Amino acid sequence: MESLTEGALYRNTLRTLESAGDLIKINANALERLKLPRRAVIVSVPVKMDDGRVQIFPGYRVQHNQTLGPFKGGLRYHQSVNLSEVAALSMLMTFKNSLLGLPLGGAKGGITVNPNLLSMNELEHLTRRFTTELNPFIGPDKDIPAPDVGTDSQTMAWMLDTYSMDSGFSQTGVVTGKPIEIGGSHGRECATGLGVVYTIEKALATRNRKIQDAKIAIQGFGKVGMHVAIEAFALGAKILAVSDVSGAIYHPEGINITQLKKYIDENKVLKGFPNAQGIDGEELLELDVDVLAPCALDGTINSTNVDRIKAPIIVEGANGPVTMNANDELCKKGVLIVPDILANGGGVVVSYFEWVQDIVWLFWQEDEVRQKLKTIMYRSFDTVWNFAQEKQENLRISAMGVSLQRLEKAMKLRGQAW
């Protein structure tokens, strides 16, 4: 198991798990069971490239825990994907689903590949072969993948089609994040970002502030960060800075996100946007704003830059963007950090809605999806906040504590690890 647990994200997650376990005095056997996944699947994915050669890509699917229901979690295509990262993310999915009150377990998957270097034809072949390799381990009542970094609704459409061909009939519930035309849900594309915005509203309310009066910096302008910006801007927030792979931009009076979205649709990246000034990516993290929303990759706020972070509220749109050491230092200074398992839960909530709609073949309109999502995000924040006040603990440990209480009770009722 050494390669499984050696990554920084996995170690950080274990530290949070152990701290929260101590806080709620979790059963020792249950704690040990939750430290390791139930199953880790490693596959080789051969793809015939457009130039005729065959290239082999390593693929992973880690299924952490299914005490509460079928495994559920995203699938990412990125050159840094490895077993330890996927295992850590699968563990976080278990805790996230438990915290949000969903009847789902935790899983995560990925392929070590830079999707930007592959043609659409190669990406389709990669996805279909990966789906075939995972076929015995996924399904509507087993494990339901979803989009993540480097994947999208088209990826899910290919997975659905491949799995359905092997089954002999259409199985729309095997994946979520699909196009609406083939069983997807309204509101799924913006769900994670919208959930972050609902969380920002609740976090600001603890300081007697409203989002309409807030200045926000957003690291990342991808699937999560872009929708955080769009939804917060629509509510009247000032988005002072955003970033993507091309760099960061800043405007002291706020960036017009509608104009920026149009610019990116035409130019693919935000670099060169005329109505803002370019800044360094690290500068964005260190801006004096009301809310900092890191929505890129893990570990971006760490021991090297923690002393320069000025935002009084940090809402984690990405998975693990604040390391445990940085989290401890910032909490000592009174910074309110809303952890990833709470803040970015909107995506899995609406994925759950999509899965339910696919099972019963009854679909909801977007306003209904948004209202149901808002109810769950608000309720989950309140539960964690009240727990934190009662225990005099930070939100990261408190969110994990709330999650573990539900998991421990379910494991005890099922007779697991006792």
- Distance from chain centroid for Cα 408: 23
> Smallest Cα–Cα separation from 408: which of 14, 108, 15, 20?
20
Q: What residues have CB less than 8 Å from 255, skipping those under 6 apart? A: 239, 240, 241, 242, 249, 273, 275, 276
The answer to whether 220 touches 230, Cβ cutoff 8 Å, is no
The answer to whether 196 touches 228, Cβ cutoff 8 Å, is yes
Residue type, 25: K
How far apart are alpha carbons 314 and 349 in whole angstroms? 21
Choose, from 108, 202, 223, 238, the residue flagged as catalytic.
Answer: 108
Which secondary structure element, helix H or strand E, spans residue 78, and what is its range? strand 71-78
Handedness of CA 271, 272, 276, 277 (dihedral sign): positive
What three-state secondary structure class fits 116?
Answer: helix
Whether 108 is catalytic is yes
Quote the strand ranges of 153-253, DSSP E.
215-219, 238-244, 247-250
- Residue 299 burial (C-beta neighbours within 10 Å; 0-12, 13-18, 19+): middle
Q: Which residue has the tokens 């989290």?
A: 327
Neighbours of 319 (CB within 10 A): 25
Tokens of 67: 């005490």
Catalytic (active-site) positions: 108
